Structure 1
């Protein structure tokens, strides 16, 4: 497939602004999904990374693509590759989102790059988000999105399984139950079928099961970092290395690293899935 990278790069500089009021109900739903407790009263401090559930794209059913995402074009460039996933990102925390505040996300496409991977063409789109809460600048986020083709089955001997990830000094096990994935999709108004439609995952995408959300993994890692340190990180960055599916439990891990923590997720007995670093 030929990609017109010059055309796609005309999307650089495109901006979008969305707002939503953070309700106590959404906070309770968020906490229930992650089995956590926090303040749910008006004016209380909001849970970490709940902004990922606010002011998300809303497209009519008639404007969705085959995978449940909004169809190509619009704010994001029309990359003609079927798989779209979160490749990674970074957060810089400037303040707290407060329950009852109007949360506004100002998004801007800052880069579009075409690269060649082992499975073919990869198109990376970088989006910068600036988030305010009742007019206060509370968060800067860089979001890295990758588009890729569905790889064809390689002939010959299968590749050797990658080495399993180590277990962290701090570790807990998570069962990726379909209800957990469904709830997070609902919180983020994410129609991507890879997270709830198992026949689509297996028959159309060639996956062994439902895909665990990258943003949900990042949220679990950031929560662990804040819990262990007793405070919100100043900076948190992460990258996705391999997918996790609902066919096995996965672990959330942490260990000391330089000026903060190194954190990661991995399928039990499997390789690194997401790696993150938190600093204070």
Structure 2
């Protein structure tokens, strides 16, 4: 498939904005979904990466594409490649969002580039999100979205199992867990809750564990291990993890920082991340 990259690059600089109150109910639902406990009264710090549940684009059901994503050509460029995933990102934390605050998201398309991979053409869209509250900046996030061809998975060599970290935590990737996270983030991509679609249309062996969910779990794990929020956090998706079983969060000290990754039992490294403290 040929892409008019010059046309797609005309979206660079396009902006979008939204705001939403971080309600106590949202914080309670997120804690329940993650099997965690924490304060949810007004003024309490919300869990790390709660902003992924806030200020999501509001698109009517009739405007969704066959994969469940909003149809393209609005804020995001109309990339004709059919498959879309969150390839990675980087976050700088300034302060924690607080329950009861009106949170504002300001977004801009920073870049649109083309590459070639094993599955064919790849189109990367880099989006910058800045979140703030009446107190000032909360965080800045670069989101890397990749679009690719709809290519069935071929027979690949058995991947090298991921190493075990000094610390690790088991996570149950039940369908209910994935569905709840999709609901909290207003994410209707069908690979996360519609098993026939995930297998028959996108050629996966099962439901796909969300990349942002893995990033949230790793960031919170890093804060749990170190007892404080990192100043920055970056992550990169390397391979999918599928629901129905368990996977592990791994962590390894690197000086004053942490290297983190996710992996299914005996599976390859699925997401790698770095948490840093200034």
TM-score by length of 1: 0.97
Q: Distance in 2 between matches of 1:134 and 1:81?
A: 39
Can you list the C-alpha shifts for 1:123-177, whole angstroms capped at 9, x where unaligned?
00000011002251010100000000122455xxx32111000111111111210
Alignment RMSD (CA, Å): 1.0
The answer for the alignment partner of 1:233 in structure 2 is: 230
Unaligned runs of 5+ in 2: none
Correspondence 1:23-102 to 2 at 5 A:
23-102=23-102
Matched, 1:185 2:185: no
Structure 1, unpaired ranges of 5+ = none
1:161-180 matches, within 5 Å, as 161-180=158-177
Q: What does 1:1-280 correspond to in 2, within 5 Å?
A: 1-152=1-152, 154=154, 158-280=155-277
Once the two structures are TM-superposed, the CA of residue 207 in structure 1 deviates from its matched residue by 0.5
Report the secondary structure of 1:87's partner residue: strand
Contact 1:5–1:114 (CA<8 Å) still a contact in 2? yes
Change (3 A) 1:13 1:135: farther
Check whether the contact 1:83–1:149 (CA below 8 A) recurs between aligned residues. Answer: yes
Q: In the TM superposition, what is the alpha-carbon distance from 1:24 to its structure 2 partner?
A: 0.3
Per the normalisation by structure 2, the TM-score is 0.98
Kindly indicate whether the alpha-carbon contact (under 8 Å) linking 1:112 and 1:124 is maintained by their aligned counterparts in 2: yes
Kept in 2, the 8 Å contact 1:19–1:104? The answer is yes
Number of residues of Structure 1 aligned to a counterpart in Structure 2: 277
User: Which runs of at least 4 in structure 1 moved beyond 6 Å after TM superposition?
Assistant: none
User: What is the CA deviation profile of residues 247-277 of structure 1, one whole-angstrom value per residue up to 9, with x for unaligned ones?
Assistant: 4321111010133000000011100000000
Q: Is the 2:152–2:203 Cα contact (8 Å) retained in structure 1?
A: no
In structure 2, distance between residues paired with 1:152 and 1:163? 21
Counterparts of 1:262 and 1:117 in 2: how far apart (Å)? 26
Q: Secondary structure at the match of 2:128?
A: strand
Alpha-carbon separation, structure 2, partners of 1:148 and 1:86: 11
Contact 1:131 1:140 in 2 (8 A): yes
Q: Is the 8 A contact 1:248 1:268 kept in 2?
A: no
Q: Aligned partners of 1:207, 1:246: CA distance in 2, in Å?
A: 11
Residues 183-234 of structure 1, C-alpha deviations (whole Å, 9 max, x = no match): 0000000010000000001111110010000000000000000001110000
